[in-house]
Amino acid sequence: MENSIFDKKSRLSDKVLYSLIQLCTLFSVVLLVVIIGYICYRGIPDFSFSYLINTPSIINDTIGILPNIINTLYMIVLTLLIACPIGIGGAIYLNEYATNKKFVSVISFTTEVLAGIPSIIYGLFGMLFFGGVLKLSYSILTGALTLAIMILPIISRNTQVALEAVPKSYREAALGIGATKWYMIRTVLLPSAIPGILTGIILSMGRIIAESAALLFTAGSAHILPVGLFDHLFMSGGTLTIELYLCMSEGNFQEAFVIAFILIIIVLALNFTAKWISKKFDVNKVV
C-alpha cells in the first residue's frame, strides 16, 4: 500500500526538543533540591528548639530568635491589614464600577510600574516619609506601611484577575433577579474570586517575609520581645530576614544557616497552605 497509515516516521526534531525540555525541567528541580538540601545540611545540625523560643541576651547568655519570629508575625499581619482593604477594594472599584476606560488603564499601568520599583527605593521613601515626616522613626509600623505600598500591586492585580475570571453570566444572572450591584459583588463575585484573592495574599506574605532592603531602614533590626501588644508597633523590630542579613554581615554563618533553614520551612509551609486553601475554597469545582 502506497499511503498506508502504518509507516511510523521517526521525527527526530520532535525527539530532540522533547529531550531538551525534559532537561530544562530536570535542571529546575535539581536546582531547588540543591539549594534546599545545602541549607538543611548546614542548618539542621545547629538547629535546636530552644533557639526558636529564646531571646538573645547578654545577661542570660542566650541566643534565640523568638523576637524576630514575633516581629515577622507582626509585620505580616499589620501589612496585610493595611494593604488588603485598599488593594481589594480598589480592584473591585476598577473592575466593577469604573466606567472611564482611560482612567482604569492609567491606574492599571501605575500599578504595574509600582510592582517593578526596586525595594530599596521603597525603603528610602519609607524611611524619609513614614519614618521622618510622620515621625514614626524606626518602627514596625513604619516597616508595615512601607511594605503595604509594596504589596499593594500584588493584591490589587490578583484580585482584579480573579474578578475578571468570573464569568459575565453570573453577574447578569444576579442582576436579572433583582440584586443590587453591591449585593451581587458580595454574594456571587467575591466568593468566586476568593481563590485568586487568597493567592495574592499568600504571594504577598512570601514577599513580606523575603523583604530585607525595604525593612532595614524602616523597621530597623532590634530584637526585643514586645512589652505591650499595641506599643510594640511603635518600636523598632527586625524580622527574620533582617536578622539573617545581620548574621551574614557579622560573619556568623552558623546562625545564618539556622535562620535560613527556618525561613525555608516557613516558605514551603506557606506554599502548601496556599495550594490547599485554593483548592478548599474553590467554589467553581463541582464535587
Partner 1 sequence: MSIKIQAKDLNLYYGEKHALKNVNLDIEENKITAFIGPSGCGKSTFLKTLNRMNDYVKNIKITGNVSLDEEDIYDSRVDTTILRKKVGMVFQQPNPFPMSIYDNVAYGPRIHGIKNKKQLDEIVEKSLKAAALYDEVADRLHTSALGLSGGQQQRLCIARCLAVEPDVILLDEPTSALDPISTLKIEELLMELKEKYTIAIVTHNMQQASRIADYTAFFLVGEMVEYGKTKDLFSLPKDKRTEDYITGRFG
C-beta separation of 159 from 189 below 8 A: no
* Sole binder of partner 1 in the list 19, 110, 180, 273 (CB under 8 A): 180
Per the DSSP assignment, residues forming a β-bridge with 62 are: 57
* Sole binder of partner 1 in the list 65, 141, 174, 259 (CB under 8 A): 174
Q: Which SS3 state, helix, strand or coil, does residue 62 take?
A: strand
* Sole binder of partner 1 in the list 178, 228, 231, 251 (CB under 8 A): 178
Amino acid in position 64: G
**Which residues inside 154-173 make contact with partner 1, applying CB under 8 A?**
167, 169-170, 172-173
Report if residue 104 touches partner 1, rule: CB under 8 A: no
* Sole binder of partner 1 in the list 41, 93, 97, 183 (CB under 8 A): 183
Report if residue 105 touches partner 1, rule: CB under 8 A: no
Report if residue 277 touches partner 1, rule: CB under 8 A: no
Closer to partner 1 by Cβ: residue 118 or 191? 191
Report if residue 81 touches partner 1, rule: CB under 8 A: no
How many C-beta atoms lie closer than 10 Å to residue 231's C-beta?
Answer: 9
Report if residue 102 touches partner 1, rule: CB under 8 A: no
Closer to partner 1 by Cβ: residue 116 or 176? 176
How many C-beta atoms lie closer than 10 Å to residue 65's C-beta?
Answer: 25
Closer to partner 1 by Cβ: residue 177 or 229? 177
Core vs surface per residue 138-166: b (16+ CB within 10 A) or e: bbbbbbbbbbbbbbbbbbbbbbbbbbeeb
For residue 181, the minimal CB distance to partner 1 (Å) is: 9
**Which residues inside 198-217 make contact with partner 1, applying CB under 8 A?**
none
Number of residues engaging partner 1 in binding (CB under 8 A): 23
C-beta separation of 154 from 115 below 8 A: yes
Sequence-distant (≥ 6) Cβ neighbours of residue 255 within 8 angstroms:
46, 63, 247
Phi-psi region of 68 (alpha: psi -120 to 50; beta: other; left: phi over 0): alpha
Half-sphere exposure of 22 (CA within 13 A, CB side): 6
Instruction: State how far the Cα of 108 lies from the Cα of 42, in Å rounded to an integer.
Output: 44
Instruction: State how far the Cα of 188 lies from the Cα of 25, in Å rounded to an integer.
Output: 39
Report if residue 98 touches partner 1, rule: CB under 8 A: no
Report if residue 133 touches partner 1, rule: CB under 8 A: no
Report if residue 251 touches partner 1, rule: CB under 8 A: no
Binding site for partner 1 (CB under 8 A): 99, 167, 169-170, 172-180, 183, 187-188, 191-192, 283-287
